[in-house]
């Protein structure tokens, strides 16, 4: 994933985000679809706590969609979007 975005969306067409929640014996799970494509899945890590690392299911889809909204609003104001990944 990273910073690059590819889309078949026409200019001016809305980004469609859908968050699907379900809860079962494993706990709450969320999946985020952007323009109909599954992009993020988050769920409980109780079965494999060794997987609870940065870069893995540590935020909710609600938080991610909120960040997307902030970026969208900044773009409407004419602000640039800069994404830089750094390693020490």
Q: Is the residue at 37 inside a domain?
A: yes
For 8, 51, 60, 64, 73, the CA distances from 81, given in Å and listed in that order, are 19, 31, 22, 16, 11
% of the chain exceeding 70 in pLDDT: 67
Q: Is the residue at 7 inside a domain?
A: no
Most confident of 42-46, 47-51, 53-57: 42-46
Q: Is the residue at 1 inside a domain?
A: no
pLDDT higher than 70, residue 9: no
Q: Is the residue at 88 inside a domain?
A: no
3-state SS, residue 31: strand
For 26, 29, 37, the CA distances from 34, given in Å and listed in that order, are 25, 17, 5
Q: Is the residue at 12 inside a domain?
A: no
Average pLDDT over residues 46-65: 70
- Number of domains the chain is built from: 1
% of the chain exceeding 90 in pLDDT: 0
Supply the range of the domain harboring residue 34: 17-76
pLDDT tens digit string along 68-83?
888 888 888 888 876 6
Q: Tell me which of 84 and 62 has the higher pLDDT.
A: 62
């Amino acid at each position: 994933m990273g910073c690059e975005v590819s889309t078949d969306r026409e200019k001016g067409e809305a980004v469609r985000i859908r968050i699907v929640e379900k809860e079962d014996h494993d706990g709450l799970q969320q999946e985020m679809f952007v323009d109909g494509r599954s992009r993020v899945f988050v769920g409980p890590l109780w079965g494999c706590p060794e997987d609870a690392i940065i870069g893995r299911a540590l935020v909710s889809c609600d938080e991610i969609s909120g960040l997307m909204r902030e970026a969208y609003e900044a773009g409407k104001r004419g602000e640039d979007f800069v994404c830089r990944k750094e390693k020490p």
